[in-house]
Chains A and B, each alone.
Chain A
């Protein structure tokens, strides 16, 4: 069965960076694109970007362009999302989510459990 297991809770100071991991199992990692979505407390879901795990192509939301980097390690079947220059407004739960294809323009059928990132001085 498909599983996405994310790394644990992070607490960061403003200006720092955070890197969240998402380990995939139960399918061929390089056959699908992985998305990253975040949710600030009480807010709507917000798409951040995706990585095609097969060809390493990436696409980022304009809102996060320049601050977010999504990478993958095919040998570990793991995707990563790094967000830099953190500010208090980046406090949120960050999710990885797999799409059933590889186009990048698709819904997400499996989601990780979420990683809480708190930014506080």
Chain B
């Protein structure tokens, strides 16, 4: 089973700053079957990115995804107050698995 490791565990930033989150896979993720989700406390996850770099419907263009193989990133170009949340990556090419999450908190 593929293991996804996200880093950093927590990052403290101010609104307006840029952040890049990392997701590293223990084996190559086939066909870039990599998704990113945002989760706020008490809420279900929300799909942001699929296919490593395609934005889901309604997702602002400040969110972008990139990467292939074993290394993937999610970038938020300018943090808005509503972006402070936990972000999870998921590989879905075989038995689906999620990363441990990165918490983006307000500095």
List chain A positions with a Cβ less than 8 A from chain B. 35, 37, 44-47, 61-62, 95, 97, 105-109, 111-114
CB distance from B12 to the nearest CB of A (A): 19
Say yes or no: B35 contacts A112, CB within 8 Å. no
What's the dominant secondary structure at chain B's contact region?
loop
Mask: chain B, 82-104; 1 = CB below 8 Å from A; 0 = not: 00000010101111111111000
CA distance A108 to B50 in the complex (A): 9
Known A-B contacts A61-B95, A107-B50, A107-B92; the reply to A45 vs B35 at CB < 8 A is: no
Size category, B interface: 20 to 34
Report the bound CA distance from A37 to B88 in whole Å.
13
A42 CB, min distance to chain B CBs, angstroms? 10
- The list of the 4 closest CB pairs from A to B, nearest first, reads A111-B44, A107-B35, A47-B96, A45-B98
What would 18 more interface pairs be, CB under 8 Å, given A97-B45, A105-B92, A107-B35?
A: A37-B98, A44-B100, A45-B90, A45-B98, A47-B96, A47-B97, A47-B98, A61-B95, A97-B44, A105-B96, A106-B92, A107-B50, A108-B35, A108-B45, A108-B47, A109-B47, A109-B56, A113-B44
CB closest chain-B residue, reference A103: B92
